[in-house]
Amino acid sequence: MPINPGAAEFPHRQIAAQLKAQIRRGDWAPGERLPSIPAIAEMFGVAKQTVQRAVDQLRVEGILITKPGSGTYVRGTRRRLNRLSRGRYGGFRGYHTDLAARYRQQLVAVGRSPAPPEVADAFGVPDGTELLCRRHLVRTEDSPVEVGASWFLPADTAGTTLERAEAFGRPLYQEAEEATGRRYATATDTITARQPSREEAETLQIRPDTPVLHLLHVAYDERRRPIEVAQATWPGPVTTLTEEYPIPAPTSTPDPDPGLVLG
At 241, which helix (H) or strand (E)? strand 239-242
Q: Band of the pLDDT at 152, cuts 50, 70, 90?
A: very high
Give the chain's mean pLDDT.
87
Q: Band of the pLDDT at 83, cuts 50, 70, 90?
A: low
Select from 201, 194, 198 the least CA-distant residue to 215: 194
**So what's the pLDDT on residue 94?**
53
Statement: residue 88 has pLDDT above 80: no
**So what's the pLDDT on residue 262?**
47
DSSP annotation of 122:
H
**So what's the pLDDT on residue 90?**
66
Rounded CA separation 123/104 (Å): 29
| Least confident piece of the model among 55-59, 114-118, 185-189, 250-254 | 250-254
pLDDT in tens, 7-22: 778 899 999 999 999 9
Select from 244, 231, 62 the least CA-distant residue to 138: 231
Contact 185, 221 (CB under 8 A): yes
Statement: residue 126 has pLDDT above 90: yes
Question: How many percent of the chain have pLDDT more than 70?
Answer: 87
Rounded CA separation 78/236 (Å): 10
Statement: residue 256 has pLDDT above 80: no
Rounded CA separation 223/245 (Å): 26
